[in-house]
Structure 1
């Protein structure tokens, strides 16, 4: 269902529909550890790591929980360090906070919020050594919720639940939140911004200090937005949808605007996952049509269509050093690629990881 790289170690994490969270060695191409992270038929819908989480990986299940696991000697802790009972059962994957390249993800300090906007204390004890903020669609699925992963507490909702007239209008016209991306641009001086995509195809840009109303509201898609990715400079990004196009957009933090840069039309609809390499040169999408598409992110032109997978592709991720790309599919495989890597390395496809461990 999802795949992501560790920020500094040669490790890859995958989450499967049967509830298994697995750690892979990207050098030896083998499983290092696995655990049944989310029970029953719930499955692991999303996995996430960042520089700020260190040796931790976060899994999201369709059982209404998000769990934080320690990485111990290449394996996973037997029990989660923190379990967040979010009571959310939708299809929106979690997002950790992205910061511009060269800056460690700072999370988000509730101390910077006004007193009446705080749901939890600004300081809390943490097995992760600091605050790490996660965004996801909320228990009320038209809202976005920010959670402190360290404390296991919800911080705030966007828009705030107290603002009922605005909330009802938002719910009626936008529908459910289907994709989120939290980020902290250099211009924000450490404050959190957030992009959210909805069933009606609209995207909203939020400043967490102003939770009542988004600072930008655009609609570049005709169907539900399924994936959002912000680039390494936090000045633009890419979105995928249930419609037949991919959108590359720019973010102007001075004016608070989200503007269309390029539309990429597709022969077949449905983009479940998007990702932008940290050097801002390459972007990729995972499609319902079993295809991984690779683009020049700056120009928006197509570079490759990868036809390895035999079922719907659910996710794509780039390693921090830009040398590897991982893709995952409902065909139960993860494929690891060297694709347009830096330093003029030869382009080639590496062996695929089979979910059964072979």
Structure 2
């Protein structure tokens, strides 16, 4: 039996004049944000596939390296991160971008590492009654996923993060991670915490922090956790209550870790690197341990971005080889290889309702895909 061909994008968004470095969806509206290497931030209507507004928000010489939107920073807000060392907090309440940022933070961080908002444990509409059939990309055989996802409650913030709109960012010292309150432009904490008189952080031997993800684990009592990936291929898991040393350190990759994503249950995630491996791992919050669940060998090395669908069923990665690869997150089997882009794929992002996937590329385009959409109970 012949394999079903991979789908074409449902839309291709054109308008950028430079490499599209990052892309993310609005947490509740049909809006997509994209940021380019020339500093342009575009807001797109994800239904009509047209530009709502566009503005140069970072210097053209440095450009945008990261974007983030989440209810944790406000419903009609978006954050842009430039390679000029600034992070800007924008209001989009009137549909377009505000003329000036609400807050502009000079972080003195001039790296390629994208910032991270806090990934909270969430409950989605897919908890019950969802059944999906996926077709394996290699065998062409259909596989059936379970029809129920465990129910997770959102943790209440403690004093550590209460009232704060937190971001995690690779710090002024490149192996250090900094936590900032984006609303007050206040630096809250460093990981590792540097004692007075300390010249070099203990993470210096790991090299630069290349990828990170902030999250609230089930055992954290609302205190921030951060997973960090480094230049030497290692990863560290930090708990803000003990910022001096990580809970655990692992080394799943032989090359720099370039992408990290934690799932909605905060019990696992995926990591991609400059090597030819994609790793699906588990996080044991009680033991503070990270373990390999499945290691996937790729045909070509280099994963620039990774994302897990909000319902926890599908993962997607953006490859240096111009391809977007889609996997069954729970089992690790390949589902599809998406071929449209003509240059390195820089980022991938799922919509909050799990129906759309967006990919961005050095070819200056954003592609939108519909893949195994969740079935809703009627």
The unaligned stretches of length 5 or more in structure 2 are: 1-20, 124-152
1:323-354: CA deviations, max 9, x gaps?
0000000000000111111128xxxxxxxxxx
Going from structure 1 to structure 2, the CA distance change for 1:246 and 1:163 (only over 3 Å counts) comes to farther
Query: Which residue number in structure 2 is paired with residue 270 of structure 1?
Result: 302
* Contact 1:51 1:104 survives alignment (8 Å): no
Query: Which residue number in structure 1 is paired with residue 194 of structure 2?
Result: 161
Query: Which residue number in structure 2 is paired with residue 76 of structure 1?
Result: 97
CA distance in structure 2 between the aligned counterparts of 1:322 and 1:65, rounded to whole angstroms: 31
Query: Which residue number in structure 2 is paired with residue 351 of structure 1?
Result: none
* Contact 1:197 1:224 survives alignment (8 Å): yes
3-state SS in 1 of match to 2:321: coil
Q: What TM-score results when the alignment is normalised by the length of structure 1? A: 0.88
Going from structure 1 to structure 2, the CA distance change for 1:189 and 1:105 (only over 3 Å counts) comes to closer
Structure 1 counterpart of 2:109, from 88, 93, 111: 88
Matches within 5 A, 1:155-304: 155-162=188-195, 167-171=200-204, 173-304=205-336
* Pairwise CA distance, 1:105: 8.1
**Does 2:90 correspond to 1:51?**
no
**Normalized per residue, which structure has more helix?**
1
* Contact 2:176 2:201 survives alignment (8 Å): no
3-state SS in 2 of match to 1:196: strand
Query: Which residue number in structure 2 is paired with residue 135 of structure 1?
Result: 168
CA distance in structure 1 between the aligned counterparts of 2:84 and 2:258, rounded to whole angstroms: 20
Query: Which residue number in structure 1 is paired with residue 82 of structure 2?
Result: 61
3-state SS in 1 of match to 2:219: helix
* Pairwise CA distance, 1:74: 1.4
Query: Which residue number in structure 2 is paired with residue 17 of structure 1?
Result: 37
* Pairwise CA distance, 1:162: 1.9
* Pairwise CA distance, 1:256: 0.3
* Pairwise CA distance, 1:267: 1.1
* Pairwise CA distance, 1:92: 0.4
* Pairwise CA distance, 1:40: 2.9
* Contact 2:37 2:60 survives alignment (8 Å): no
3-state SS in 2 of match to 1:188: coil
Structure 1 counterpart of 2:373, from 325, 328, 341: 341
CA distance in structure 1 between the aligned counterparts of 2:254 and 2:59, rounded to whole angstroms: 35
Query: Which residue number in structure 2 is paired with residue 315 of structure 1?
Result: 347
3-state SS in 1 of match to 2:92: strand
* Contact 1:52 1:105 survives alignment (8 Å): no
* Pairwise CA distance, 1:30: 0.3
CA distance in structure 2 between the aligned counterparts of 1:315 and 1:105, rounded to whole angstroms: 28
The unaligned stretches of length 5 or more in structure 1 are: 113-121, 124-129, 345-358
* Contact 1:163 1:212 survives alignment (8 Å): no
3-state SS in 1 of match to 2:301: coil
3-state SS in 2 of match to 1:45: strand
Query: Which residue number in structure 2 is paired with residue 8 of structure 1?
Result: 28
CA distance in structure 2 between the aligned counterparts of 1:308 and 1:255, rounded to whole angstroms: 42
* Contact 2:23 2:35 survives alignment (8 Å): yes
1:39-94: CA deviations, max 9, x gaps?
13110110001122211000000111000000132111010000010011111000
Going from structure 1 to structure 2, the CA distance change for 1:197 and 1:163 (only over 3 Å counts) comes to farther
CA distance in structure 2 between the aligned counterparts of 1:274 and 1:285, rounded to whole angstroms: 4
CA distance in structure 2 between the aligned counterparts of 1:164 and 1:99, rounded to whole angstroms: 35
